[in-house]
Amino acid sequence: MMARRCIVTGRVQGVFFRTSARQEALALGITGRATNLADGTVEVIMCGSEEKLDRLCQWLEYGPPGARVAGVRCEAWTGSVNFNGFETA
């Protein structure tokens, strides 16, 4: 099991980005959370196999139809990975 933290920039709040990311993650069997940050970005912490994390990272590049993703920055996550499903906050 691996974990990553991604920060998604652009028009990603108010466009169902977190809810859509949750749906994609659950379909892939990934646990974690998606959170709106005060600076207008979305933070996604995800846990799963490398292949599945790669697939969700690819999805983050585009997001749901209303989103306009400007960039995605991902890094290894060393924080808690004790998630029950995929949460939005």
Q: Structure pTM?
A: 0.95
Cα within 13 Å of Cα(82), Cβ side: 1
The tens digit of pLDDT for each residue in 40-58 reads 999 999 999 999 999 999 9
Which of the following is catalytic: 5, 11, 36, 55? 36
Q: Are 21 and 60 in contact (CB under 8 A)?
A: yes
Q: Are 36 and 18 in contact (CB under 8 A)?
A: yes
Mean pLDDT of all residues in the chain?
96
In a domain, residue 11? The reply is yes
How confident is residue 85, by pLDDT bands cut at 50, 70 and 90?
very high
In a domain, residue 51? The reply is yes
In a domain, residue 16? The reply is yes
Query: Is 36 one of the catalytic residues?
Result: yes
| pLDDT confidence of residue 82 | 87
In a domain, residue 83? The reply is no
In a domain, residue 86? The reply is no
b/e map 17-50, b = 16+ CB within 10 Å: bbebbbebbeebebbbbbebeeeebbebbbbbee
Q: What is the mean pLDDT of residues 1-13?
A: 96
| pLDDT confidence of residue 49 | 96
The total number of structural domains in the chain stands at: 1
In a domain, residue 63? The reply is yes
Which of the following is catalytic: 4, 5, 11, 18? 18
Query: Is 5 one of the catalytic residues?
Result: no
CATH number of 26's domain: 3.30.70.100
CA angle 57, 11, 7 (to 5 degrees): 40
What beta strand segments (E) does 30-85 contain? 31-36, 42-48, 68-76
